[in-house]
Amino acid sequence: MFSIRRNEPEDYTAISSIVEKTWHTTSIITRGKLYHISSLEGFLAEDASGIIGVLLYRIADSECEIILLQSLKENLGVGTGLLKEVITHAKKEGCKRIWLITTNDNTSAMHFYQRRGFIFAAIHINAMQISRQMKPQIPLTGIDGIPLRDEIEMEYPFIIEMNKEVL
């Protein structure tokens, strides 16, 4: 069993540690913009052991961009719970769109988001070249040795066919 809450400034040390272990950095680039995780709002999933999931996002121009979703305990509904929370929050904030960027090598993320109703919105060919100019430590190959090249933009349609929401 876990609960979800908004992150607070005092959570950033723990969030930084979680993000650094997985991504080896506390800054994230999407669509040519660099974000430090301490500048982002988010939600945390917690159980008796502590933080087990993090979702960081930004809202601008009636759009909610999910910058990071990290689950430390998979197949327990942590990621899905965090997604539901940010979708509910984005609706309350009047957002017209929820979207995210993943990379072409991250097939497990593509599967995860598609199973939860996200659709492919765009493929930004060779976008990682721009990201590497800002952050040279981004590797040339990613998961399973796949060349790390493109950004995949996915979005959550609030209303789908027959006006039924997916989540």
**Tens-place pLDDT, residues 86-136:** 999 999 999 999 999 999 999 999 999 999 999 999 999 988 888 888 887
Torsion of CA 20, 86, 155, 66, to 10 degrees: -20
User: 28 is in which domain, residue-wise?
Assistant: 3-163
Q: Into how many domains does the chain fold?
A: 1
Contacts of 74 (CB under 8 A, 6+ apart): none
**Tens-place pLDDT, residues 21-63:** 887 778 888 887 888 888 899 999 999 999 999 999 999 999 9
Model's pTM, two decimal places?
Answer: 0.88
**CATH number, position 86:** 3.40.630.30
Strand partners, 5: 44
